[in-house]
Amino acid sequence: MLSDMPPPWRAVPLTIVVPTYNEAENLPGVVDVLIALPLDNLSILVVDDNSPDGTGEVADKIAAGLNADRPGRMHVLHRTGKTGLGSAYIAGMTRAVELGAQYVVQMDADGSHPADAIPGMLATALSTNAGLVVGSRYVPGGSVDDSWSWRRKLLSAWANFYVNAILRVRVRDVTAGFNLWRAETLAEIGLDTIRSGAYGFQVEMKYRAKEAGNVMVEVPIHFTERAAGESKMSLSVQLESAIRPWQIRFSGKRK
């Protein structure tokens, strides 16, 4: 019967790109949750920047176990050093498309992004023909962890207002790092031309998607605090994030 058929999004080739740097404690739990999702063609791609805590070796061990049952279920891309979140995502997304992904998800390794939202994000992409679906903290139904201080909430809200005032991306959570991309949209953007590092990467990618005329949809998520380890939000990252929107605005979308 038609009602017994699985939804079409279950069979779509989807790769989840997870950059890591010193996330050995968090990675096994994140992978367990992802593998349990009701997605038949899901694969995981970990991009490790030579983590001193052995995250790369942990990823290799997990991949060996998963791929023994179903080859290609998890890949590990080892890089020689820590060269930034943006370049890690560029390397991972490029590899994911090369491996045949029709959709690519950006997801942190610290457990802050709700993996169970991914099937709904994929279903939304298929039903709306969106080039980008954003897991958003700032649309109705979205929220952040109760442990966030008022200073952190204010900083996050201000960052999104600031970026949208400069670039007019028309995405409420323009700094969001939990995003689902159509492979064709990544090709239109031109990953090899992205110049932003750190969290400016999230902004530049969405700006490029808007400039290319893509439909962008936000779905609400609850953003939790990282499970273990330390935040990568340094002062230098904050400064780069403040300057980069102006550089994007005045440099042109392909420079």
User: Per-residue pLDDT tens for 155-202?
Assistant: 888 889 988 899 999 999 999 999 999 999 999 999 988 878 767 889
Give the amino acid at 129. Answer: N
Of 131, 106, 135, nearest in space to 209 by CA: 131
Q: How confident is the model at residue 1 (pLDDT cuts 50, 70, 90)?
A: very low
Q: Give the range among 123-127, 164-168, 238-242, 246-250 with minimum mean pLDDT.
A: 238-242
Which of the two residues, 225 and 150, has the higher pLDDT score? 150
Helices 200-211 and 150-167: angle between axes, nearest 10 degrees: 30
- Decide if pLDDT at 101 tops 70: yes
Write the pLDDT tens digit of every residue in 208-229: 999 999 999 999 999 997 655 4
pLDDT in the model for residue 183: 97
pTM score, two decimals? 0.89
Question: Per-residue pLDDT for 255 more than 70?
Answer: no
Alpha carbon distance 118, 121 (integer Å): 5
Q: Single out the residue of 206, 182, 184 nearest to residue 194, CA to CA.
A: 206
pLDDT for 225: 75
CA 202 – CA 177 distance, rounded (Å): 6
Query: What number is the average pLDDT over the span 139-145?
Result: 94
- Average pLDDT value over all residues in the chain: 89
Spatial CA neighbour of 218 closest among 254, 174, 250 = 174
Flag whether pLDDT at 2 surpasses 50.
Answer: no
- pLDDT class of 235 with cuts at 50, 70, 90: low
Distance separating the N- and C-terminal Cα atoms of the chain: 52
Of residues 73, 83, 77, 23, the one with CA closest to residue 47: 77
Give the Cα separation of 55 and 108 in Å (integer): 14
**Average pLDDT value for residue range 69-79:** 95
What confidence score (pLDDT) does residue 21 get? 95
Percentage of the chain beyond pLDDT 70 is: 88
Element (H, E) at 57: helix 55-69
Q: Which amino acid is at 232?
A: K
Tell me the domain boundaries of the chain.
2-251
| Spatial separation of the C-alpha atoms in residues 63 and 46, rounded to whole Å | 9
Residue 3 has pLDDT above 90, yes or no: no
In sign, the C-alpha dihedral spanning 240, 255, 47, 31 is positive
Facing residues of 239 across strands?
none
Q: Is the pLDDT of residue 99 over 70?
A: yes
Contact between 152 and 239 (Cβ < 8 Å): no
The pLDDT value recorded for residue 236 is: 59
Q: Does domain 2-251 have CATH number 3.90.550.10?
A: yes
